[in-house]
């Protein structure tokens, strides 16, 4: 499931979207990236940063999460996201 907010630039900057998917690490060392894969197969790359939220996401590898995020760019086809918060999804 992928939901996006629509609106003007200011609204896009403040709006968050929701993504449900499983946390994976992709790539080879030293070029690994944290990603979220939806059940439909869409892969979103999590923006690298030094926040505690980012470190907690690394610890959630293999877990299914509901993630509230902002897109990296205003284009709807952007695959990079900035997570705001997440919740564990119980199957």
As a whole number, mean pLDDT of residues 2-15 equals: 42
pLDDT tens, position by position, 26-61: 999 999 999 999 999 999 999 999 899 999 999 999
SS (HEC) of the chain:
CEECCCCCHHHHHHCCEEEEEEEEEECCCCCCEEEEECCCCCEEEECCCCCHHHHHHHCCCCCEEEEEEEECCCCCCCCEEEEEEEEECCC
Residue 11 has pLDDT above 50, yes or no: no
What confidence tier does 12 reach under pLDDT thresholds 50, 70, 90?
very low
Domain that holds residue 33: 2-88
For residue 30, give the CATH number of its domain.
2.40.50.500
pLDDT tens, position by position, 56-78: 999 999 999 999 999 887 665 67
Number of folded domains in the chain? 1
């Amino acid at each position: 499931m992928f939901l996006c907010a629509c609106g003007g630039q200011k609204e896009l900057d403040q709006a968050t979207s929701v993504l449900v998917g499983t946390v994976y690490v992709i790539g080879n060392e030293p070029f690994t990236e944290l990603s979220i894969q939806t059940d439909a197969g869409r892969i979103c790359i999590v923006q690298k940063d030094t926040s505690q939220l980012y470190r907690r996401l690394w610890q959630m590898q293999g877990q299914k999460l509901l993630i509230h995020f902002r897109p990296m760019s205003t284009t709807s086809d952007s695959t990079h996201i900035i997570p705001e918060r997440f919740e564990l999804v119980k199957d």
